[in-house]
């Protein structure tokens, strides 16, 4: 009765509902513009990891940190030792030292002997600094520092991790606008083809507007309460936009079918809400349940997607179940205006019930074994590259080559003897600074490790296992009073590489007599991998258990949930294999416009898995519920599978195509891992809608026969008591008895004139 009452309410109070919806969109639009200011660019580290502890000690005990600002100065003529360049560098160094939030400023020109800060060809040198101010403060500072200097004898480019984060944030905003400008027109064209009319096609886009506005509002609110990743702007917007269109497609299609069956508009709205609305609500619950698994991870990058993603799913569902029916109640039969064909003869819809999808299912079930074996072999083959996955964290290479911070990083990596912007610290909080012998011995040992260019600490600078410079005034910063010393390590390799990780492991394996903790991006990567690996079984277990329980409550079967989980895993494995082949190994990098760095972002596959798994379960239930209805009606498993696939084929294919377009538009992003997210989810949706739904599902359903719906007696009793089902034979092509709460004989009344 819940959805019946909701449907009646949307009809009776349609103007109130629409007024509140407009008010919501206005408020969300106003407040949502502040979402960018609430979001953070980090979130990839484990709060309890050694690298995080070391970083916090570095800031609190030593009031220092790794340099996160790099100014690359290039002499337009001569070398960096030319008098005009030296003067410009001295002026810039003084200006940077005086800026708010800036500390630990050093440069090639301020140190007596710092060849590592000078390029090998002598035309470039760097100034390093630590900035601990706000994002807005850095943006202002970077704009000022990047202006032309002196008499034009030197050019300045701003790099470092702060600049990389700034450039990524800037790209995310422009990428979002680009994606929407491309996906919305294509989506509208597809909707016109699906519905055969302009008005019906425009309704899902209106609900998408509500969803996108709600997405920004939810990010603003959640970002005001807890840390939320800035990358959630693109990802949750894509999810909200896609689901809003997806859900609206089911609702509008159902409503038009009820009109075609002879119902008056207001009764058709009620029937639509109690059936298609129930479908949407169940779908939203499945997707939200999958996103819940992200809460087990300590990284707020992933946790923020659970908070934001679940709220976005609920907003999209509310728009489709509440606002859209109210709009349909106002439109009435006008929803079919400007149609180019009759509703009952829509694209892909068979008049005699034996169309493409019926013929496909029947053909598959005539040869289920070779089809199943062949399809599984293809999916396994596509997934093989995933065995060679090499996980990493975002670096400057995730940016396009035109980004200034990327240019600085590339120049530092190729034009200097050591990459001083890659410095990291080893913190020894209990080591007495007065114990010079212990400090020197440890620094000497670390400097002798492979891929270490130099080590600087309170007692001087060390390289290749020996001291190269004694202590000077500036070395005092490496001692934290009577107790505590830290060592600044300059590697000869980039940190977030296999060599960088190996270096950190070598340092951690030294085990001196005092306590040490290594920080830096390589240490962070190692610790992040460990944190994700430790919590991954729990996340997968949550998804598997929740999925099994939900599908069992719907279908009362043991085999159907297990089959659905296995098939989805096969599909996603193939998708991840494609991601390794494309983004890690770099096949098609020139066409897609990115620079492969030999890694996949560690967090992204987890995020993609949770989202794609929920979406694939969504479509799985649409299909299986229709099959189950036909099986209960006829007792013929083969007929039920073919009929179920035919009656869900058009609408689910359309929904998958629209969702794939939405995700694929983010493949145009200038940020590599956002590009991977969009293309990966588009592939997952297409894979599920074709190979899984069209081939594997009918093949396995045919092979299992009547056993599809078997469960032991004790589980049957549980399903009879708590199961989710609906008696009756609704005609909806994508909503069936599976989406209601079990109830007795139907007792509904037609809407009275007062209700209307």
pTM of the model: 0.81
Give the mean model confidence (pLDDT) for residues 615-619. Answer: 78
Confidence (pLDDT) at 670: 87
Burial class (CB in 10 A: 0-12, 13-18, 19+), 138: buried
Residue 148 sits in the same domain as residue 221: no
pLDDT higher than 50, residue 508:
yes
Lowest-confidence segment of 59-63, 259-263, 369-373, 699-703 by average pLDDT: 59-63
Q: Is residue 392 part of a domain?
A: no
Residue 60 pLDDT > 50? yes
Task: Report the percentage of the chain scoring pLDDT > 90.
Answer: 28
pLDDT > 90? residue 747: no
Q: Which of 221-235, 378-392, 598-612 has the lowest mean pLDDT?
A: 221-235
Segment 360-380 shows an average pLDDT of: 94
Number of domains in the chain: 3
Same domain, 180 and 153: no
Residue 274 has pLDDT above 80, yes or no: yes
Is residue 520 included in any domain, yes or no?
Answer: yes
Q: Verify that 195 and 301 share a domain, yes or no.
A: yes
Nearest CA-CA partner of 114 in 97, 98, 127, 96: 127
pLDDT bucket at 752, cuts 50 / 70 / 90:
very low
In tens, the pLDDT along 523-553 reads 999 999 999 999 999 999 988 898 888 888 8
pLDDT score of 733: 35
Q: Are residues 262 and 381 in the same domain?
A: yes
Q: Is the pLDDT of residue 160 over 70?
A: yes
Q: Taking 80 as the threshold, does the pLDDT of residue 728 lie above it?
A: no
**Non-local CB neighbours of 549 within 8 Å, separated by 6+ positions:** none
Q: Is the pLDDT of residue 755 over 50?
A: no
Look at residue 732 in the predicted model and tell me its pLDDT: 37
- Average pLDDT value for residue range 655-682: 88
C-beta of residue 240 within 8 angstroms of C-beta of residue 320 = no
Domain-terminating residue out of 500, 524, 548: 524
Which range among 21-25, 113-117, 612-616 shows the weakest confidence by mean pLDDT? 113-117
Domain hosting 517: range is 405-524
Q: Tell me the pLDDT band of 362, cut-offs 50, 70 and 90.
A: very high
Tell which wins on pLDDT, 474 or 4.
Answer: 4
Closest CA to 558 of 704, 726, 371, 743: 704
Is the domain of 150 the same as that of 171?
no
Same domain, yes or no: 492 and 580: no
Residue 752 lies in a domain: no
Provide the 3-class DSSP secondary structure of residue 456.
Answer: strand
Q: Of 479, 498, 524, at which residue does a domain stop?
A: 524
Residue 625 and residue 565 in one domain? yes
Range scoring the smallest mean pLDDT among 164-173, 487-496, 530-539, 695-704: 164-173
Checking if the pLDDT of 736 tops 50, the result is no
Looking at residue 750, its pLDDT comes to 42
Does residue 196 have a pLDDT over 70? yes
DSSP 751: P
Phi then psi for residue 460, to 5 deg, are 135, -160
Q: Please tell me whether residues 419 and 480 are part of one structural domain.
A: yes
Confidence of residue 501 (pLDDT cuts 50, 70, 90): very high
In a domain, 14, yes or no: yes
Average pLDDT, the chain: 84
Stretch 328-332: mean pLDDT = 91
Among 471-485, 498-512, 558-572, whose mean pLDDT is lowest?
471-485
Measured distance CA(7)–CA(17) in Å, rounded: 12
Residue 578 lies in a domain: yes
Confidence of residue 586 (pLDDT cuts 50, 70, 90): very high
Please report the pLDDT score of residue 330 as a whole number: 92
Question: CA-CA distance, 635 to 551, in Å (whole number)?
Answer: 20
More confident residue, 269 or 201: 269
**Same domain flag for 443 and 540:** no
pLDDT band, residue 419 (cuts 50/70/90): low
Q: Does residue 580 surpass a pLDDT of 90?
A: yes
Q: Which residue has the tokens 């977030």?
A: 496
Is residue 133 assigned to a domain? yes
pLDDT value for 700: 93
Radius of gyration of the chain (CA): 30
Q: What is the pLDDT of residue 280?
A: 83
Could you tell me what percent of the chain has a pLDDT over 70? 92
Res 289 pLDDT > 80:
yes
Residues 189, 141, single domain; the answer is no
CATH number at residue 349: 1.20.1640.10
Q: What is the CATH number of the domain that holds 96?
A: 3.30.70
Q: Is residue 569 part of a domain?
A: yes
Q: ∠ CA 288-294-298 to the nearest 5 degrees?
A: 150
Within a domain: residue 41? no
- Show which of 524, 546, 565 is a domain's final residue: 524
Greater confidence (323 vs 162) lies with: 323
Q: pLDDT, tens digit, for every residue of 335-355?
A: 887 666 554 444 444 444 568
690-723, pLDDT tens digit by residue? 889 889 999 999 999 889 989 999 998 898 888 7
In angstroms, rounded to a whole number, what is the distance separating the alpha carbons of residues 257 and 602? 45
Same structural domain, 252 and 349? yes
Examine the domain organization and report whether 19 and 87 are in the same domain.
no
How is 629-658 classified by DSSP, letter by letter? Answer: HHHHHH--HHHHHHHHHHHHHHHHHHHHHH
Give which of 254, 359, 298 is closest to 642, Cα–Cα: 359
Q: What integer pLDDT is reported at residue 470 of this predicted model?
A: 85
The average pLDDT across 504-532 equals 92
The helix (run of H) or strand (run of E) holding residue 71 is strand 69-75
């Amino acid at each position: 009765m819940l959805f019946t009452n909701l449907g009646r309410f949307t009809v009776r109070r349609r103007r109130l509902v629409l007024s509140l919806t407009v008010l919501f969109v206005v408020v969300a639009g106003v407040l949502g513009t502040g979402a960018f200011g609430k979001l953070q660019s980090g979130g990839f580290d484990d709060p309890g990891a050694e690298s995080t502890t070391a970083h916090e000690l570095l800031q609190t005990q030593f009031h220092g940190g790794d340099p996160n600002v790099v100014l690359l100065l290039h002499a337009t003529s001569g070398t960096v030792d030319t008098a005009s360049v030296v003067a410009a560098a001295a002026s810039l160094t003084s200006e940077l030292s005086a800026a708010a939030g800036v500390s630990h400023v050093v440069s090639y020109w301020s140190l007596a002997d710092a060849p590592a800060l000078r390029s090998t060809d002598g035309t470039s040198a760097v100034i390093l600094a630590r900035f601990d101010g706000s994002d807005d403060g850095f943006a202002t500072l970077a704009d000022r520092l990047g202006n032309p200097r002196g008499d034009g004898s030197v050019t300045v480019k701003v790099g470092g991790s702060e600049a990389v984060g700034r450039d990524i944030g800037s790209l995310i905003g422009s990428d979002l606008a680009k994606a929407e400008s491309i996906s919305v027109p294509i989506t509208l064209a597809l909707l016109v083809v699906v519905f055969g009319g302009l008005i019906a096609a425009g309704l899902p886009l209106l609900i998408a507007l509500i969803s996108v506005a709600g997405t920004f509002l939810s990010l603003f609110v959640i970002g005001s309460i807890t840390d939320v990743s800035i990358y959630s702007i693109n990802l949750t917007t894509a999810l909200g936009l896609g689901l809003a269109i997806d859900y609206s497609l089911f609702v509008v299609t159902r409503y038009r079918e009820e009109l075609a069956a002879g119902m008056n508009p207001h009764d058709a709205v009620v029937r639509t809400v109690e059936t298609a609305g129930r479908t949407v609500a169940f779908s939203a619950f499945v997707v939200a349940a999958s996103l819940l698994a992200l809460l087990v991870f300590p990284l707020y990058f992933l946790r923020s997607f659970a908070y934001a993603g679940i709220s976005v799913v609920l907003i999209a569902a509310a728009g489709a179940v509440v606002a859209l029916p109210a709009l349909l109640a106002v439109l009435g039969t006008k929803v079919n205006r400007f149609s180019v064909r009759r509703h009952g003869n829509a694209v892909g819809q068979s008049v005699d019930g034996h169309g493409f999808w019926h013929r496909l299912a029947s053909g598959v079930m005539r040869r289920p074994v070779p089809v199943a074996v062949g399809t599984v072999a293809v999916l396994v083959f596509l997934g093989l590259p995933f065995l060679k996955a090499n996980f990493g964290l975002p670096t400057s290479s995730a940016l396009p080559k035109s980004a200034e911070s990327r240019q600085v990083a590339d120049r530092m990596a190729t034009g200097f003897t050591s990459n001083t912007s890659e410095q990291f610290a080893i913190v020894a909080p209990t080591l007495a600074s007065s114990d010079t012998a212990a400090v020197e011995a440890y620094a000497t040992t670390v400097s002798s490790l492979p891929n270490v260019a130099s080590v600087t600490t309170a007692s001087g600078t060390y390289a290749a296992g020996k001291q190269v410079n004694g202590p000077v005034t500036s070395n005092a910063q490496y001692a934290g009073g009577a107790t505590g010393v830290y060592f600044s390590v300059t590697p000869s390799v980039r940190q977030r590489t296999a060599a960088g990780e190996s270096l950190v492991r070598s340092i951690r394996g030294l085990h001196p007599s005092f306590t040490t903790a290594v920080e830096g991006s390589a240490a962070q990567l190692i610790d992040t991998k460990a944190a994700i690996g430790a919590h991954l079984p729990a996340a997968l277990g949550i998804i598997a258990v929740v999925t099994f329980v939900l599908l069992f409550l719907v279908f009362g079967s043991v085999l159907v949930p297990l089959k659905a989980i296995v098939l989805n895993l096969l599909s996603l494995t193939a998708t991840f294999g494609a991601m390794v082949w494309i983004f890690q190994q770099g096949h098609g990098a020139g066409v897609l416009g990115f620079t492969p760095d030999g890694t996949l972002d560690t967090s992204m596959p987890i995020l993609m898995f949770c989202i794609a798994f929920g979406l694939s379960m969504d479509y799985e239930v649409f299909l299986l519920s229709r099959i189950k209805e036909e099986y209960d009606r006829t007792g013929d498993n083969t007929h039920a599978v073919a009929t179920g696939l035919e009656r869900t084929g058009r609408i689910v294919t359309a929904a998958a195509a629209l969702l794939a377009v939405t995700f694929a538009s983010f493949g145009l992003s200038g940020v590599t891992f956002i590009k991977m997210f969009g293309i990966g989810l588009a592939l997952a949706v297409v894979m599920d809608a074709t190979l899984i739904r069209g081939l594997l599902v009918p093949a396995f359903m045919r092979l299992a026969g009547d056993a599809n719906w078997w469960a032991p007696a004790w589980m049957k009793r549980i399903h009879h008591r708590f199961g989710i089902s609906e008696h009756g034979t609704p005609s909806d092509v994508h909503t069936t008895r599976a989406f209601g709460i079990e109830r007795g004989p139907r007792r509904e009344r037609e809407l009275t004139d007062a209700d209307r």
